[in-house]
Amino acid sequence: MGIAEDLLIFEARLKELITSYEQYFIGLEKREPLKQLEEVEKLARRYATTPITNTMYKHRYNNLVARLSSYRQHWNRILREIEEGRYSRDRFRAKLHEGQRASTAATPSKPQRSPQEQEIERIYTELQEASRHCHLTAAMSREQLAATLEKQRPVLAQKLGSSDIQFRVVVEDGKPKIKAGLKHKPSNE
């Protein structure tokens, strides 16, 4: 095989490796793709000591090696964050499990909140998470949110033709927004 074919293989395997690591980091793959990494590093070392006379191939090879090196640093940083428990996906899961444990072990001394207060708390929490996800600071307090929703509820009820309104948080154009719609009731057919 010539250098042109080797570079095509190197590039294809590097793309596969990048995909495998992304799948590993989001939880689709259970094991780190170390075998693939070893194969790609072997391809990268193949021409490390061999002089490449064709400038185009030399440039392409150097770019692929630099890309591999850059991704290696990125992957090592994420792996270190996972080990230290600072990776955002793992933190989200930990908070979710912590919230589930707290809800199952709810103390009876806490006063029960009304469904409307629970909805405001849910929306406020979702808004906070969406703001953090978009790297923004929260724009309103819980009380401001409650006042805004209560002010909008009659207007929306008239516009939608029903007072059975449900609010949800969405991210549009990189900004969290609160959307309103009618509650969907399950049909018993």
**Is 85 within 8 Å of 91 (Cβ atoms)?**
yes
Q: Which residue has the tokens 């969405």?
A: 170
Geometric angle at alpha carbon 97, from 95 and 99, rounded to 5°: 65
Q: DSSP states of 38-80 as a string?
A: HHHHHHHHHTTSS----HHHHHHHHHHHHHHHHHHHHHHHHHH
Question: Cα(146)–Cα(132) distance, rounded to whole angstroms?
Answer: 20
Model pLDDT for residues 22-57, shown as the tens digit of each residue: 888 888 888 999 999 999 999 999 988 888 999 999
Instruction: Parse the chain into domains and list their residue ranges.
Output: 3-84, 115-189
Measured CA to CA in angstroms, residue 182 lies from 23, 64, 162, 163 at distances of 36, 52, 7, 8
pLDDT top residue among 9 and 86: 9
Read off the DSSP letter of residue 165.
Answer: E
Burial pattern 174-188, b for ≥16 Cβ within 10 A else e, equals: eebebebeeeeeeee
H helices, E strands: number in the chain: 6, 2
Q: Is the pTM of this model over 0.75?
A: no
Q: Is the per-residue pLDDT at 186 higher than 60?
A: no
Nearest to residue 18, comparing CAs of 33, 29, 39, 38? 33
What confidence tier does 1 reach under pLDDT thresholds 50, 70, 90?
low
pLDDT top residue among 122 and 16: 16
Question: Cα(181)–Cα(163) distance, rounded to whole angstroms?
Answer: 10
Q: Which residue has the tokens 């057919």?
A: 189
Q: Is the per-residue pLDDT at 108 higher than 60?
A: no
Model pLDDT for residues 131-177, shown as the tens digit of each residue: 777 777 766 788 888 888 888 888 888 888 887 888 888 887 778 88
Question: Cα(154)–Cα(152) distance, rounded to whole angstroms?
Answer: 6
Strand (E) or helix (H) holding 99: helix 88-104
**Is 67 within 8 Å of 13 (Cβ atoms)?**
no
Least reliable range by pLDDT among 45-49, 117-121, 154-158, 184-188 = 184-188
**pLDDT value of residue 189:** 45
